[in-house]
Amino acid sequence: MLDIFRHRRMWRRQRDLKPAYDVVIIGGGSHGLAAAYYLQKDHGIRSVAVLEKRYIGSGAAGRNTTILRSNYKTPEGARFYDASVKLYENLGKELNFNLLFSQCGHLTLAHTDRAMFVMANRAEVNRLQGIDSRVIYPEEIKRLAPAMQVENPHATYPIMGALYHPPGGIIRHDAVVWGLARGADRGGVEIHQDTEVQSMERSNGRVTKIHTNRGTISAGHVLNCTAGWSTLICDMVGVPLPITTHILQACVTEPVKPLLDVVIVSSQMHVYISQTDRGEFLMGAEIEPWTTYRMQGTLNFLQEVTRHTLELFPQLERARLLRSWAGLCDLSPDYSPILGQTEVENFHVSAGWGTYGFKAAPIVGKTLAELVATNRTPDLIAPFAVERFYEDKLVSELAAAAVSH
């Protein structure tokens, strides 16, 4: 029988939990799996369990709009996300798994003088970090996105220019989850799905026991990689977080012919648009302003996102929506993440990801793995410690990240 017909598992079947691991990672999303992958790959740490309460990629990792970019506003943010995009560029080859990564280019539209000024500022910050990013004008926008209505005398938001970021693009999110899981599993990491952490015990400033629905375990280090649920996990060990949980929504149209091969974002119109490899137009908007843990979409979102998309792509007027969904986002006050050590010695967090966590997955995994292996905070993540909120030293990405992508 030819090998290609044989059913092969991507990762090993679930066994019983062992009583102890060197590292326990809570959350089987892109961050948790990336941390597990880099722990074994960079540091040879194989006694690792990833605990996922549902199935891997069932949270934000499987609900995002798959956009990658690094044109952030602060030098700290731009440097960090650039390192992430560079890791993503090689990840498919490294994992021997096609992640369908397309660096098709990313356009952030500007509709006012003020927005043009902010774009120019971002382009300068980006270029100082060696990131390909520049301001372009309507002629070039039309060349890059010929199907988009760029000059519309009746537009609510006329297009004055855009921040063009050529290395930005889209990557298949499920493939990232599966590829990292397979890579981690082959390196000896255990992936436990349907395994929910219910409480933790803390003594002498350390997490000593983790109680799950499948038994109690202990760990040398514990990583909280649970995004929208981060507060609930941190509550179990008494670590306060400056985050709130909100829903972010997205939807897709039925497949249409290829029209658009760049990512279009408008912060003023609160919309981002790309066309998937299947031909669907993928549209996302803003988080809902109120906090919630309920992943249910709103009609208001569908009305707003389609109205704005139609202003840019009136030819989609008759396209039907195929599906829509919502995911949870853990929003931090300065729109930058909260990353690294906490007041509990062996408990580390990756939280405060708002709407930009997926694009950071590989660099979060790599830096958290280094933190665990060396007990030292890598320089790249030092600006993102939770301590900054006690000292009022914020890393404000408001202008570059407040719009989701």
199 or 300: whose CB is closer to another protein? Answer: 300
CA–CA separation, 36 and 30 (whole Å): 10
Beta bridge partner(s), residue 223: 25, 348
Q: Residue 48 — φ and ψ, nearest 5°?
A: -135, 135
The least CB distance from residue 15 to another protein, in Å, is 30
Stretch that binds another protein, among 99-107, 189-197, 339-347, 385-393 (CB under 8 A): 385-393
By the rule CB under 8 A, 396 interacts with another protein: no
Joined tokens for residue 52 = 């996922």
75 or 242: whose CB is closer to another protein? Answer: 242
The least CB distance from residue 378 to another protein, in Å, is 24
By the rule CB under 8 A, 232 interacts with another protein: yes
Start-to-end C-alpha separation, the chain = 47
- Residue 259 contacts residue 275 (beta carbons within 8 Å): yes
By the rule CB under 8 A, 240 interacts with another protein: yes
117 or 390: whose CB is closer to another protein? Answer: 390
Stretch that binds another protein, among 17-25, 31-39, 59-67, 388-396 (CB under 8 A): 388-396
By the rule CB under 8 A, 333 interacts with another protein: yes
105 or 383: whose CB is closer to another protein? Answer: 383
Number of residues that bind another protein (CB under 8 A): 24
Among 201, 261, 288, 345, binds another protein (CB under 8 A): 288
Q: Count of residues for the chain?
A: 405
Q: Residue 373 — φ and ψ, nearest 5°?
A: -75, -35
By the rule CB under 8 A, 302 interacts with another protein: no
By the rule CB under 8 A, 121 interacts with another protein: no
Joined tokens for residue 289 = 């302003």
By the rule CB under 8 A, 187 interacts with another protein: no
113 or 392: whose CB is closer to another protein? Answer: 392
- A 10 A CB-CB count for 156 gives 11
Among 289, 317, 320, 379, binds another protein (CB under 8 A): 289
CA–CA separation, 331 and 314 (whole Å): 33
The least CB distance from residue 251 to another protein, in Å, is 15
DSSP 187: T
By the rule CB under 8 A, 298 interacts with another protein: yes
**Residue 165 CB contacts under 8 Å (≥ 6 apart), including other chains:** 69, 70, 71, 105, 106, 107, 108, 126, 131, 132, 133
Joined tokens for residue 220 = 């040398």
DSSP 157: S
x-marked contacts with another protein along 245-274 as a string, rule CB under 8 A = x-----------------------------
By the rule CB under 8 A, 241 interacts with another protein: yes
By the rule CB under 8 A, 392 interacts with another protein: yes
218 or 292: whose CB is closer to another protein? Answer: 292
The packing angle between helices 173-186 and 30-43, to 10°, is: 40
**Residue 30 CB contacts under 8 Å (≥ 6 apart), including other chains:** 57, 60, 61, 173, 176, 177, 180, 357, 358, 361
By the rule CB under 8 A, 231 interacts with another protein: yes
Among 15, 139, 203, 290, binds another protein (CB under 8 A): 290
379 or 391: whose CB is closer to another protein? Answer: 391
By the rule CB under 8 A, 242 interacts with another protein: yes
Stretch that binds another protein, among 28-36, 55-63, 172-180, 297-305 (CB under 8 A): 297-305
Joined tokens for residue 154 = 């009746």
For the CA atoms of the chain, what is the radius of gyration?
A: 21
Q: DSSP secondary structure string, 312-373?
A: H-GGGTTPPEEEEEEEEEEE-TTSS-EEEE-SSTTEEEEE--TT-SGGGHHHHHHHHHHHHH
149 or 291: whose CB is closer to another protein? Answer: 291
The least CB distance from residue 228 to another protein, in Å, is 10
Stretch that binds another protein, among 126-134, 166-174, 194-202, 298-306 (CB under 8 A): 298-306
| Site residues for another protein per CB under 8 A | 231-232, 240-245, 288-294, 296, 298-300, 333, 389-392
